[in-house]
């Protein structure tokens, strides 16, 4: 017959609580974040704004016709 080796559920809970309650590791203050995509998000916002203006102008033009 196989042996039933069960882990202590209370021990697992205690280890989990210890993991959750520990503060998250923070990056050192001398680490800098550098974006290498050349401001791609700003360009995306500009394209979305231009498309929105074109759609509004098209709707107004079609409504006036």
pLDDT in tens, 1-15: 556 666 665 667 777
Give the chain's radius of gyration (CA, Å): 29
Structure tokens at 2: 């196989």
Tens of pLDDT along 8-36? Answer: 656 677 777 777 787 765 555 665 655 55
pTM summary value: 0.40
10-13: long-range pairs with CB below 8 Å, 24+:
none
Q: For 46-65, write each residue's pLDDT tens digit.
A: 899 999 999 999 999 999 87
pLDDT score at 26: 57
């Amino acid at each position: 017959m196989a042996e039933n080796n069960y882990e202590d559920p209370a021990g697992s809970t205690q280890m989990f609580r210890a993991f959750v309650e520990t503060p998250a590791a923070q990056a050192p203050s001398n680490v800098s974040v550098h974006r290498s995509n050349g401001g791609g998000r700003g360009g995306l916002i500009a394209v979305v704004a231009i498309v929105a203006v074109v759609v509004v102008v098209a709707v107004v033009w079609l409504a006036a016709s």
